[in-house]
Amino acid sequence: MNQTLPTQLVTTTDTLSVRTLHLGAAPAHPLSTPMIQAISDALDHAAADPDTNVVILSGQGKIFCAGHDLKEIARNRDTPDHGEQFLTNLFERCADMMLKLANFPKPTIAMVDGIATAAGLQMMASCDLAFATPNAGFCLPGVNNGGFCTTPAVGVSRTITRKHLMELLLSGETKNADWALNAGLINRIIPSETLEHEVQTFAATLASRNAAPISAGKAAVIEQLEMALNDAYAHATPVMVNHFMDAGRLAAEAKSKFKA
């Protein structure tokens, strides 16, 4: 089933319990206010759909996502506050969407065959997994434009070390896929011609597994990362118990015993 959301900025494709969100407004797929809302709506649809177990985020072409729409920002500068209220609303909406993606109850995968820059890199880093081709590039270029990628750094900092983060932020350079793999920013480098097939195959494997404990376990793992060690174990233990009490697991164990 293919679906176009009302905004026309995100289209979806469903295959074997895997939903792929295709970013529109090519070639840059900028995170304009309407695009942010479209992605947020698409995530809500996927979270509520019982037939969707995995979500893939894909920006087709030479640019995965170019970050915020600078033309939209420029259009809103001609106000008494020089666009301050617009920018506040924009970044707050973007943060809400990024949080929704980072805390999404189902596995998420970024499929990257082009450059992911600024908030586009933030969005990629907010996914659970990222697979990229040798064509991909990764950049936090704020310093090159007289600014600093402060909010994109929030998402990226949860994925890579401080030293790698500061190299991105302070240099403003575009890093290649080998650098990103070494930094832990992506999981694998895959040839462009096989990227979609390999990602879809991997996602289908994830989608075939017991969804309930994955959702609860993923949430618990994210939460315990911010806790002291003792608190983390206390938080994770009852969740682990519930995994073993899950109806799907009990049924699988019973079936296994019967075969034995």
Instruction: Note the pLDDT tens digit of each residue in 96-123.
Output: 999 999 999 999 999 999 999 999 999 9
Of the three residues 163, 179, 207, the one that is the final residue of a domain is 207
Would you say residue 4 has pLDDT above 70?
A: no
β partners of residue 138? 116, 175
Please report the pLDDT score of residue 245 as a whole number.
Answer: 83
Q: Measuring CA to CA, which residue among 61, 57, 26, 25 is closest to residue 137? A: 61
Give backbone dihedrals phi and psi of 155, rounded to 5 degrees, phi first. Answer: -65, -45
User: 30 and 138, same structural domain?
Assistant: yes
Confirm if 96 and 148 have CB atoms less than 8 A apart.
Answer: no
User: 172 and 58, same structural domain?
Assistant: yes
d(CA 241, CA 244): 5
User: 227 and 121, same structural domain?
Assistant: no
The residue ranges of DSSP E strands in the chain, in sequence order, are 2-4, 10-15, 18-23, 54-59, 63-65, 108-112, 115-117, 129-132, 137-139, 175-176, 188-189
Q: Please give the structure tokens belonging to residue 86.
A: 């617009």
User: 118 and 221, same structural domain?
Assistant: no
Q: For 230-240, how does the pLDDT look when each residue is reduced to its tens digit (9 = 90+)? A: 999 999 999 98
Q: Are strands 115-117 and 137-139 parallel, antiparallel or unpaired?
A: parallel
If you average pLDDT over residues 78-85, what whole number do you get?
92
Q: For 23-69, how does the pLDDT look when each residue is reduced to its tens digit (9 = 90+)? A: 987 788 999 999 999 999 999 999 999 999 999 999 978 999 999 99
User: 154 and 89, same structural domain?
Assistant: yes
If you average pLDDT over residues 87-102, what whole number do you get?
96
Of the three residues 207, 227, 249, the one that is the final residue of a domain is 207
Residue 16's H or E segment, with its range, is: none
d(CA 111, CA 133): 9
User: 220 and 164, same structural domain?
Assistant: no
Confirm if 75 and 38 have CB atoms less than 8 A apart.
Answer: no
pTM: 0.91
Q: What is the CATH number of the domain that holds 196?
A: 3.90.226.10
Would you say residue 135 has pLDDT above 80?
A: yes
Would you say residue 257 has pLDDT above 70?
A: no
Cis peptide before 27 (omega within 30 of 0): yes
Would you say residue 183 has pLDDT above 80?
A: yes
Would you say residue 258 has pLDDT above 60?
A: no
User: 240 and 202, same structural domain?
Assistant: no
d(CA 73, CA 100): 23
Cα 112 from chain centroid (whole Å): 11
Confirm if 20 and 56 have CB atoms less than 8 A apart.
Answer: yes
Q: Which residues contact 217 (CB under 8 A, 6 or more apart)?
A: 239, 243
**Residue found under tokens 């479209």:** 38
Give the CA dihedral 60, 134, 152, 162, nearest 10 degrees: 160
User: 189 and 73, same structural domain?
Assistant: yes
pLDDT class for 243, splitting at 50, 70, 90?
Answer: confident
Q: What is the CATH number of the domain that holds 250?
A: 1.10.12
User: 241 and 142, same structural domain?
Assistant: no
Q: Are strands 129-132 and 108-112 parallel, antiparallel or unpaired?
A: parallel
Domain membership of residue 243 as a residue range: 211-259
Number of folded domains in the chain? 2
User: 238 and 152, same structural domain?
Assistant: no
User: 81 and 129, same structural domain?
Assistant: yes
Please report the pLDDT score of residue 232 as a whole number.
Answer: 93
User: 172 and 66, same structural domain?
Assistant: yes
Would you say residue 219 has pLDDT above 60?
A: yes
